[in-house]
Amino acid sequence: MKKIIIDIDNTLWDFASAFSERIKNISPDFPPLQEWHTFDFWKAYISPKQFYSIIREIHMDQDLFSPYAQAKLFLSLLKEEGFYIIIASHREKGTFDVTARWLNQHSLMFDELHISHDKTILFNECRAIVDDSPITLGKAAKAGLIAVGLRMPWNEQGNYTLCDDLTEVFQYLKKQPF
């Protein structure tokens, strides 16, 4: 079966802008997101406790945010192509229900929802991944998966494929041998 892992934050919606907005309240000097060139740049500005608590807050408030305009079509096109879609997000367990509700509310198609701190456990059963994390994409590529994501300031260096939008991601996936 053509199983594919699809990330949520910065893949199906603009998590970074929500994060940027909220972080300013506790760290006014926090750089604008165009300057987030590494995945752990935030460590110079806030503590891990602050970082993870803002992320959790945003995830619990998921209802307040909309997906990218192309997200719904992207997922239905993958379905049409015969993909089995595992939506996988690095989130705390307690966010499962709010996340599932958000996906359903916006008619974002999926077969499975995986919420955990480690997506790599899915790599064995999957052929491809769409994610924005350079760490996750790098590990996936190394494990032999087709690894592709939206181009972000923090993922520009790496051994994986980057696209400008989800339409381009779909076109790329369609051309791959599955």
Which positions from 85 to 124 touch Mg ion by CB under 5 A, shown as an x/- string?
----------------------------------------
* Binding status of residue 7 toward Mg ion by CB under 5 A: yes
Are 146 and 127 contacting, i.e. CB atoms less than 8 angstroms apart?
yes
Residue 22 DSSP one-character state: H
Amino acid at site 175: K
Under rule CB under 5 A, how many of the chain's residues touch Mg ion?
A: 4
* Binding status of residue 155 toward Mg ion by CB under 5 A: no
- Of all residues in this chain, which one has the CB nearest to Mg ion in the complex? 9
Dihedral, CA of residue 170, residue 174, residue 176 and residue 177, to nearest 10 = 150
If the CB atoms of residues 1 and 112 are measured against Mg ion, the closer one turns out to be 112
Q: Which among 108, 137, 147, 118 is positioned nearest to 12, based on CA atoms?
A: 108
Are 131 and 5 contacting, i.e. CB atoms less than 8 angstroms apart?
yes
If the CB atoms of residues 28 and 148 are measured against Mg ion, the closer one turns out to be 148
Binding site residues, Mg ion, CB under 5 A: 7, 9-10, 132
